[in-house]
Amino acid sequence: MSDPLVLIPARLAATRLPEKPLADIAGAPMIVHVWRRAIEAGIGPVVVCTDTAAIVQAVEAAGGLAVMTRPDHPSGSDRLAEALEVIDPEGRHDVVVNVQGDLPTIDPAAIAASVVPLADPAVDIATLCAVITRPEERTEPSVVKLVGSEVAPGRLRALYFTRATAPYGDGPLLHHIGLYAYRRRALARFIALPPSPLELREKLEQLRALEAGMRIDAVVVDDVPLGVDTPHDLERARAILAARRLN
């Protein structure tokens, strides 16, 4: 497995928190914090891919790399694929890690952990999950649950992803974290597939890969990173990062 390439898709348009990639957190735009966490993971080059010149400028001002992509991509995965051909047309990197641009507090160790399952040649895509500890999240549809079978300590083969409470019965439930590490050929196959019936029903893109017979393995990490989608989330992220600076 060659050095992974970490890509961070970021769009300026957002209904609940307009221009959120550029929102200030502790003196820097949110997208810069995500870029810093990805750099700290130390697994390979990091590039932000966006459709907005202001995001490129913010990342470059912090010393990072960013590329412009088309504004009409239906998903972040399609944006990654375009950026990949711009950044690495020779195919030097055979693993692509997709870190969402709204995770400014993510643990760099979690990003690094995401590529571990790809050491197994049978795995097409790797992702992350964490045990649900808050009772209300067990039934919350916005919390996506991963149903999987353990293949090694702290690692599962994903059998299904759902917004429902699953699996039934006693035992832990797993909160899926939407960070993915793709084999390059798996990403190319994935974006060429049409949306699948279960994907459309659950509104979960990763089900397209499972329905096509692709294997997704997940690493269990300690906690779920804060995704910033609302002004309240933004204030929480500011408080978390301010506390880290004081410690």
**Rounded average pLDDT over 52-60:** 96
Helix boundaries (H) for 127-230? 184-192, 197-202, 206-211
Q: What percent of the chain has pLDDT over 90?
A: 82
Domain count, the chain: 1
Look at residue 18 in the predicted model and tell me its pLDDT. Answer: 83
Look at residue 17 in the predicted model and tell me its pLDDT. Answer: 84
Does 245 reside within a domain?
no
Look at residue 2 in the predicted model and tell me its pLDDT. Answer: 64
pLDDT in tens, 162-178: 999 999 999 999 999 99
Of the listed ranges 31-35, 73-77, 147-151, 189-193, the one predicted with least confidence: 73-77
Q: What are phi and psi of 236, to 5 degrees?
A: -65, -45
Look at residue 39 in the predicted model and tell me its pLDDT. Answer: 97
Q: How sure is the predictor about 77, in pLDDT bands with cuts at 50, 70 and 90?
A: confident
Q: How sure is the predictor about 91, in pLDDT bands with cuts at 50, 70 and 90?
A: confident
Q: Is 18 exposed, middle or buried (0-12, 13-18, 19+ CB in 10 A)?
A: exposed
Q: What percent of the chain has pLDDT over 70?
A: 98
Helix, strand, coil % (nearest 5) of the chain? 35, 25, 40
Does 243 reside within a domain?
no
Q: How sure is the predictor about 247, in pLDDT bands with cuts at 50, 70 and 90?
A: low
Does 238 reside within a domain?
no
Of the listed ranges 82-91, 92-101, 158-167, the one predicted with least confidence: 82-91
b/e 90-114 (16+ beta carbons within 10 angstroms → b): eeebbbbbbbbbbbbbbbeebbbbb
**Phi-psi map region of 220: left, alpha, beta (phi>0 left; psi -120 to 50 alpha):** beta
Does 153 reside within a domain?
yes
- Written as one letter, the residue type at 74 is P
Q: What are phi and psi of 162, to 5 degrees?
A: -155, 155
Does 236 reside within a domain?
no
Element holding 53 (H helix, E strand)? helix 53-61
Q: Where are the beta strands (DSSP E) in 107-210?
A: 125-131, 145-152, 155-162, 174-183
Look at residue 228 in the predicted model and tell me its pLDDT. Answer: 92
pLDDT in tens, 100-149: 999 999 999 999 999 999 999 999 999 999 999 999 999 999 999 999 99
**44: CATH:** 3.90.550.10
Does 247 reside within a domain?
no
The answer to whether residue 69 scores a pLDDT higher than 70 is: yes
The pTM (predicted TM-score) of the whole model is 0.93
Does 242 reside within a domain?
no
Neighbours of 38 (CB within 10 A): 26
Does 246 reside within a domain?
no
Residue 176's domain comprises 4-228
**Rounded average pLDDT over 200-219:** 97
Look at residue 54 in the predicted model and tell me its pLDDT. Answer: 96
> Which residue in 51, 32, 52 sits closest to 40, CA to CA?
32
Write down the residue that tokens 């239906």 correspond to: 74
Look at residue 154 in the predicted model and tell me its pLDDT. Answer: 96
Q: How many residues does the chain have?
A: 247
